[in-house]
Structure 1
Amino acid sequence: MTPPRVLTVAGSDSGGGAGIQADLKTMLALGVHGMSVITAVTAQNSLGVQGAWELPADAVRAQYRSVVDDIGVQAVKTGMLASAELVRTVADLLAGTAAPVVVDPVGVSKHGDSLLAASALESVRTRLLPLATVATPNLDEVAQLTGVRVESEEQLREAAEAVLAHGPAWVLVKGGHLCGDAVDLLTDGSAEHWLRAPRFDNRHTHGTGCTLASAIAARLAKGDTVPEAVATAKDYVTGAISAGFALGSGIGPVDHGWALTRGVPRA
């Protein structure tokens, strides 16, 4: 039987901890068939991003059509889109695809390197976010997109409302940069789901955002509701963070394969 198919539209991380590489590992771990549209190539390791080169819009469009028109998709996840032109290109493609879309509005890498041109922010707001079934910004990305700066758990609701104003059906505001437990808020403007997990004393967290968004997309492809998909994805990424490991001389990645050896259900 063919497994559910999930397409990631994102940049390549040569170090293997984030981006396309993290997405495909997550999809494999959660029992779906992962496919990819590469939007940019980065020279990246545990210390940071040494270079980034976006692909032409025609190359992105051709990859997308090649996969969707022949193989089909049950969910799409977007990550690093780099430029306004690529954001518009991907938004046009998504608008014609009947599948849930998880938008991870990647703006800055774990090491603080910019991965989205400032000129692209308006296109993300007006073209990409309105297509999202779920948007998954972290606090830095919330500030980039809305100007709302969150310094406490109580402000997560304000941040979510500001992102929802741009049109996604649901928003998951990730509060991982706050002190205390790792708490996130999922809401569609009516229902609220607060997701809380312990914070681990582990600095090797490269790829958490990509991993979480891809896990949500995988679960949506399997038929979960948005709250179900996000709760399961949160559990998966919490385990991956706890098992994160040293790699190189900087920040190592989360362990995408931890669920394969510790018995997390794939069904």
Structure 2
Amino acid sequence: MVNPRTGRIHTSYNQTVAATGRLSSSNPNLQNIPIRTLEGKRIRQAFIAAPDCVLISADYSQIELRVLAHLSEDATLLEAFATDEDIHTRTASDIFGVFPEMVNPDMRRQAKVINFGVLYGMSAFGLAKELGISQKTAQAYIDGYFARYKKVRDYLDGILEGARRDGFVCTILNRRRYLPELQSRIPSVRQFAERMAINAPIQGSAADLIKVAMVNIDRLLTGKNLSARLIMQVHDELVVEAPVEEKEDVMALVKKEMEGVIKLKVPLKVEIAAGSNWDEAH
């Protein structure tokens, strides 16, 4: 697994394995390392910068929800991101009918599941299973969400209607995903395609954004004769290795390019840090 010439592990990135356009990683898969567990932290501590270098981790914050806000043009979502509000707290406040300051960690956790569940076309059955609640309660949460975020409902309905009519959906850069399964006579196959029709434009657009950012960053690092180099992409995160003396300049460059990659109706936000290993850079 260790390259004898470089003394490093090198993954392979696949452009066309994930149907949404996300990069996938293999031999070995470096995109599936847990971040919040002790084991995951220990593994990430093994990703060490070269001598006199640091690893810089730049991670898009809630990029898929920001893409949803951009595509749906929902006023509540647009306002929340424009004012840098915590979107999960905002959703919890709206769904549970409490002031934001009254939202407790469990409410926020449930709202987070709902927010991301919408992106994947989650049903009341799926939400009930995920949260350990009744299907009736789960449906009430979903209804409450769409009552508050009305244009999200309109957007999702429009995406499904267009997908059934055209046979495909598009990302923000007009990359298509064809969905012939929408015409299937098998309900489970058709329902899966409907969920993909909802998710593909959002996840695919996020993939478009980070790929463009990667190209721009690589070009700038080379053009400015910097020694820093992109070494890893983990979906919404880029990892750069940079000499210590280039650290501040490279962090500023990466953050600027990622946040300004394409102008959306909401600001893109990047959380960035550096350390001697990958864990420290989080």
The TM-score with structure 1 as length reference comes to: 0.27
| Higher RCO, 1 vs 2 (CA within 8 Å, ≥6 residues apart) | 2
Q: Of Structure 1 and Structure 2, which has the larger fraction of its residues in strand?
A: 1
From the CA coordinates, give the structure whose radius of gyration is larger: 2
